[in-house]
Amino acid sequence: MSQYTENGTAKGALSNLTILDLTRVLSGPFCTMMMADMGARVVKIEAPGTGDDTRAFAPMRNDSSVYFANLNRNKRSMTLNLKNPEGKRIFLEMVKKADVVVENFRPGVMKKLGLDYETLREINDQIVFASVSGFGQYGPYSQRPGYDILSQAMGGMMSINGQPDDPPTRVGAAMGDILSGMAVCIGILSAINARSVIGHGQQIDVSLVDTISFSIFAEVLRYFETGKVPERMGNRYAALAPYEAFAASDGDFIIACGNQKLYETLCNKILKKPELITDERFCTTPIRAAHYQEIRPYVEEWSRTVTVEEGVNALLAVGIPAGPINDASMLTKDPHIAEVREMYLPHHHPVVGDMTIIGNPIKMYDTKPSVRTPAPLLGQHTEELLKELLNLNDEEIRALSENGAL
């Protein structure tokens, strides 16, 4: 039974919500992508002419961005010049029909446009006004330019990521953008619920750097408690061993002995060295963790004799957590992740052509997230949305266009 369909016909979980989406690049569009997958009516409002910068982000095909195509599926695009008085008027009219406004401009831009929360709530007190930015809407750094790498650097992530001899190392994906995109989504959905608690919408403020620092809470708590600055440990957890990557004959794989019982099973059934259980260097989890370098050769004496597949299968058969280290090639062919969990879906974009799109990891059994429509061309739905939301006629739309509002 498929839990995730490419062409969802059932109603989406958020199909009662209309979102005016002013976001660009990654953090905001990542949030609204998740909401659009769940059926929200996402109106992507773009600047006339160029639109979202990621329309030109690599990888490109047929002069169209595959990156943009993934992040903006299920959304419709309209162009609107918010600096034009008529464009601004149209936006305010749409706010009356919307549940959510999301933006990721630098703090202060919405106010300068005359579109801050104080203005919008006068028009629609149910509106949820969500902002995501590098450093947040208030505080001494709020006006600084925000980039993912700065949030990883300043939020402490780089200081704990990498091998022990490495310099502080950026996580190889844009975790500041992704974590903050998810956090602002949680904020928006909580504020939607809160309308039934407090009777109105509200403002939400999420920053990349706050969210990154939130995600390394365990390392920060250890620092507060011990006074010792956490260092880069490569693949190790401080408290467990063997619990990292080990060499097989054809690559590396993970063995995760999360507790004493699993270690004993490893010694008895895999390494066939029961004497290691009582060895004074390894006899308890904390003692063993302190001697993790010394346990490695015993494990690799075995693991080097097997392939990754043989090793993982042997360990799983006796209940020891183990797995391969997948690169993108292996990951995208994995029978569980790619096929059954449907994380990679065939997709057709009118300009890009046939491509693979990334599936949604939130499996909702009665309102399946789905990829229904390809990412929009710039302004593809301007006319459709103006008619649908504001009942404008062709002449009114033509006038707006001639006025430079669209």
In whole angstroms, the minimum distance from the beta carbon of 281 to a second copy comes to 20
Closer Cβ to a second copy, 109 or 220, answer by number? 220
- Contacts of residue 208, defined as CB under 8 A and 6 or more positions apart, other chains included, come to 27, 132, 133, 134, 135, 146, 148, 150, 151, 155, 176, 177, 179, 180
Which residue's entry shows tokens 């982000």? 57
In whole angstroms, the minimum distance from the beta carbon of 380 to a second copy comes to 21
The verdict on 196 binding a second copy (CB under 8 A) reads: yes
For the chain, the C-alpha Rg in angstroms (whole number) is: 26
Closer Cβ to a second copy, 65 or 382, answer by number? 65
In whole angstroms, the minimum distance from the beta carbon of 382 to a second copy comes to 27
The verdict on 363 binding a second copy (CB under 8 A) reads: yes
Region of 101-109, 145-153, 371-379, 384-392 interacting with a second copy (CB under 8 A): 145-153
Region of 72-80, 102-110, 129-137, 371-379 interacting with a second copy (CB under 8 A): 129-137
Yes or no: say if 403 and 86 are a contact pair by the CB < 8 Å rule: yes
The verdict on 171 binding a second copy (CB under 8 A) reads: yes
Distance, in Å, from the CA atom of 53 to the CA atom of 71, rounded to the nearest integer, reads: 12
Alpha-carbon distance values, 145 to 105, 142, 148, 158 (Å)? 10, 8, 10, 19
Yes or no: say if 244 and 238 are a contact pair by the CB < 8 Å rule: no
What is the three-class DSSP state of 292? Answer: helix
279 is catalytic: no
Residue 109 one-letter amino acid: V
Site for a second copy in 239-298 (CB under 8 A): 239, 243-245, 252-254, 256, 258
The verdict on 404 binding a second copy (CB under 8 A) reads: no
Q: Judged by CB under 8 A, which of 90, 101, 110, 157 binds a second copy?
A: 157
Region of 147-155, 265-273, 275-283, 385-393 interacting with a second copy (CB under 8 A): 147-155
Enumerate the active-site residues: 177
